[in-house]
Structure 1
Amino acid sequence: MEYSIDDVAAARSLQFAKYIYTAMATFWIYDYACSLHEEWSFLLRSHWSKIKCLYIVTKYLPFIFIITGLYTSFTPNENPIKCGMLVNITSVLGMIAATCADCFFIIRTYVFWNKNKILLAAIVGTYLLCLIGSVSIIVDATASVAYVTSPIPSITGCYQSSTSDRMFIPFVLFSAFGMGLMILTLIRALQSWWRNTSRLYIVLMNHNILYYACVFLFSIMNIFTSLLLQETYQTVLDGIQFLALATVATRMHNHLWQTNQRSRGSTSDFVHIQLSDISSVNGTV
């Protein structure tokens, strides 16, 4: 039996999804195993706070995200409605994890600027506009899209029969937002370079810049994939971004907490008063 070029291309994209979700699961498990001691040290010794709850959600939600992705890719499913539901659930879980990761660095920027409430309102308002705009575009673009399964035997999973040329817009919005926060961080770094030279402050500054750079680079990558590749590739590469950002955010937060524990004897009042909110040492957030 011969298959069309579109059927073969769809089958290849579904196989690619299997490989990538398997790789993501392996990476998540490996990363968790490597950081097991630091992870449980933080969970058991740090005080309970809103930031700690945010950490737990950001850290472990990708685990559910990976499970649903693997289930969607490896389980034979002839029901297009169920396919669409599973893909949407996976996407929503990934977006929640990425949003929680962003919250860490929005709070850090707020603390960097001496808890300026006007700046916080502007940042949160801008982020909500980007988030609402992105969700609206995604919902509108996927509401009328049909999900189908591959006609080639032994190829499991499902994919969208068509795609929208507007799916790149959310990544443009978030890349611009990340670039804006990175500029704010750099401005604050230049202003405070001589006044705050503690190791904790430098670690925090480096984390912010590195995270925003990751957001920008991943968003640029997904802009090109959404314009050039099939929907299955786009969905999987979106998942890579969600998982990577959640992993980077939680590892950085854990590292910040460990650094703060080692530098409690520091003479920098700014670090211990202002950054205690972020590292959850005093549990004030």
Structure 2
Amino acid sequence: MTGMSPLQGSQADIILWSKYYYVALTSLWVYDCILCVPDSVAFLVDSRCGLGTMFYLACSHLPSAFMLLNMLLTFLPRGSYTLCRFIYITNICVGFLSMFSAECIFLLRTIAIWYRERKFMVFKIINTIAYLIPIIVCFQEFILSMGECSIPGGIGYVDSKARSQVIIVYCLLVAGESEILVCVLYRTFESHGSWKIENRLMRGLMHHNLLYFSCSFGFSLAVILATVFLPFPVVHMIAETQVIVLSLLVTRMHRDFWRSDRVSCGNDGVDLSLTTFMAATPDIVPEDTTGSRPCADG
């Protein structure tokens, strides 16, 4: 009997461990979904429908399809190259849309705290498009240059060109998130003039942005380092984890922010969870001097 080569053995080990890992990751996602059903229903029933709600729905539902596609790649006993490639590309697109929805939630919040100034809105829209175009191009180049695709397992190897495309995408992601964070911090300290921020809305937004950026930066750095030093299936696992964890984080922060505002102001208050594009942000300014915000304003 001919033994397996070291490379074949390594790939077999990665596929085996990835099965355990993806089961655990899927279980985490399903557990969180079940746990948060009451909060999700209350949020969707009581909040106003708008752009923010649409992005929230994408963030909370797309990862289910994302994990389903990944489980198919991992657990189907066999499949053609064409099927594997189709599932893998669809998985990439769904993951990208989920991440894009999360980023758009923070983009809408940033525009809101800038009082929806026309110049700033135009700048951010153009800026977002400027990031999206090279990211989409890199995804296309990656898809064209990725190697053999097998079921189970997915992509086992990619060449140096495809790896460079992955690195560029995650560097652009970090750059875009850094820019959003800088805009939030600048507006916050410009409005309050000190590190002691008494406005609860601004303070909550700043904390959320810092937490999200820290988690995303850590995952993106891990993906970049894994792309350089580790087999590509490991890169894929880290990227999958990033999509799921950040989706969980964003949806929870979005609901918690909305709920905390409703609790403090009552159900008759205006929704300032920024689930719509019409947040009453100009009323933030009086709080700079009074240290309080009337509940009628949300």
TM-score (norm 2): 0.83
Instruction: Give distance in 1, aligned partners of 2:158 and 2:25.
Output: 26
Quote the RMSD (CA, aligned, Å).
Answer: 2.4
**Residue 269 (structure 1) aligns with:** none
**Residue 187 (structure 2) aligns with:** 188
Structure 1 residues 75 and 223, CA gap change in structure 2 (3 angstroms): same
**Residue 173 (structure 1) aligns with:** 172
Deviation at 1:42, TM superposition (A): 0.9
The more displaced of 64-73 and 32-41 is: 32-41
CA contact (8 A) 1:107 1:278 kept: yes
CA contact (8 A) 1:181 1:212 kept: no
**Residue 228 (structure 2) aligns with:** 227
Instruction: Give distance in 1, aligned partners of 2:122 and 2:87.
Output: 35
CA contact (8 A) 1:179 1:212 kept: yes
Structure 1 residues 252 and 56, CA gap change in structure 2 (3 angstroms): same
Structure 2 residue 137 is matched with structure 1 residue 136: yes
Structure 2 residue 163 is matched with structure 1 residue 162: no
CA contact (8 A) 1:226 1:234 kept: yes
Alignment partner of 1:276 out of 244, 268, 272: 272
Deviation at 1:148, TM superposition (A): 4.1
Structure 1 residues 88 and 281, CA gap change in structure 2 (3 angstroms): closer
Instruction: Give distance in 2, aligned partners of 1:279 and 1:145.
Output: 38
Structure 1 residues 40 and 120, CA gap change in structure 2 (3 angstroms): same
Instruction: Give distance in 1, aligned partners of 2:253 and 2:228.
Output: 32
Deviation at 1:237, TM superposition (A): 1.4
The more displaced of 194-203 and 218-227 is: 194-203
Instruction: Give distance in 2, aligned partners of 1:213 and 1:184.
Output: 16
Instruction: Give distance in 2, aligned partners of 1:7 and 1:53.
Output: 44
TM-score (norm 1): 0.86
Instruction: Give distance in 1, aligned partners of 2:68 and 2:17.
Output: 16
SS in 2 for 1:77: coil
Deviations 1:185-244 (A, max 9, x none): 221221223696233332222112211222222211111111112222212211111112
**Residue 287 (structure 2) aligns with:** none
Instruction: Give distance in 1, aligned partners of 2:149 and 2:56.
Output: 37
Instruction: Give distance in 2, aligned partners of 1:49 and 1:165.
Output: 38
Deviation at 1:281, TM superposition (A): 11
Instruction: Give distance in 1, aligned partners of 2:29 and 2:85.
Output: 25
Structure 1 residues 117 and 281, CA gap change in structure 2 (3 angstroms): closer
Structure 2 residue 64 is matched with structure 1 residue 68: no
CA contact (8 A) 2:145 2:158 kept: no
Deviation at 1:10, TM superposition (A): 1.5
Q: Which amino acid aligns with 2:13?
A: R
Instruction: Give distance in 2, aligned partners of 1:232 and 1:140.
Output: 18
Gapped runs of 5+ residues in structure 2?
A: 281-298
CA contact (8 A) 1:10 1:159 kept: no
Q: Which amino acid aligns with 1:34?
A: L
Gapped runs of 5+ residues in structure 1?
A: 151-155, 266-271
Structure 1 residues 242 and 124, CA gap change in structure 2 (3 angstroms): farther
Structure 1 residues 204 and 84, CA gap change in structure 2 (3 angstroms): same
Instruction: Give distance in 1, aligned partners of 2:12 and 2:93.
Output: 24
Structure 1 residues 21 and 134, CA gap change in structure 2 (3 angstroms): same
**Residue 263 (structure 2) aligns with:** 262
